[in-house]
């Protein structure tokens, strides 16, 4: 699986939304790697990164 596939899989397991720090914990990646992978996915439109206080909430992009 690619990094993106792993991130998608974990998001799907948790109902399509979770905190970025929880993704770090679940996948065992560094914060910088997680941020880099998720930023690329946000640029692709696969996910949304929502700022909530001092942390990011990651949500699967909903098909309109």
Q: Which residue has the higher pLDDT, 50 or 62?
A: 50
Q: What angle do CA 44, 6, 36 make, to 5 degrees?
A: 50
Nearest to 59 by CA among 2, 25, 10: 10
Rg (CA), the chain: 11
Mean pLDDT, rounded, for 35-46? 97
CA distance 21 to 47: 16
30 contacts 20 by C-beta, under 8 angstroms: no
pLDDT above 90 coverage of the chain, percent: 95
Look up residue 64 and give its two tokens.
Answer: 């309109």
Q: What is the pLDDT of residue 62?
A: 77
């Amino acid at each position: 699986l690619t990094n993106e596939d792993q991130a998608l899989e974990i998001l799907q397991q948790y109902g399509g939304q979770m905190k970025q720090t929880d993704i770090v914990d679940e996948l065992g990646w560094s914060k910088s790697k997680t941020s880099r992978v998720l930023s690329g996915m946000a640029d692709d439109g696969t996910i949304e990164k929502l700022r909530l206080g001092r942390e990011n909430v990651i949500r699967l992009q909903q098909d309109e």
